[in-house]
Amino acid sequence: MIQEFKDFIMKGNVLDLAIAVIIAGAFGTVITTFTNEVLMPPIGQALGGMDFSDLKYVLQAASGEGDNAVAEVAIMWGKWLNTIINFLIIAFILFLIIRANNKANPPAPEAPAGPSDIDLLTEIRDALKK
């Protein structure tokens, strides 16, 4: 059983998948940092110095102190906006990668179509008539 598991885990597809997941996680972190730390601050500054990650719609304000404190309940739509921008950047980069791969490795031309089933049956019928 251990040998079977070892054979399974060492297959190329499993290793390729593991590497892809690790790289995708690291790539997601890079894009998130790019969006939050590089892209959004200038956009926020251009729009009057706002920080998108702090944008929210407060449903219930925080109240009370100590043991009676009630936390704020809010819809954090600014963080959601940052997430959407992250997704769009990642999707665009993946589009560019796939597009470059398709140009570098064009699909193989289709094999010429052979005779159809009807043509073959017609030939067999004619051969049997002779």
- For residue 82, give its domain range: 2-107
Q: What is the mean pLDDT of residues 100-106?
A: 87
How many distinct structural domains can be found in the chain? 1
Q: What is the pLDDT of residue 61?
A: 84
Q: What is the mean pLDDT of residues 56-65?
A: 83
Q: What is the CATH number of the domain that holds 87?
A: 1.10.1200.120
> Which regions of the chain does DSSP assign to beta strands (E)?
57-60, 73-75
In whole angstroms, give the CA distance from residue 95 to residue 97.
5
Q: What is the pLDDT of residue 86?
A: 82
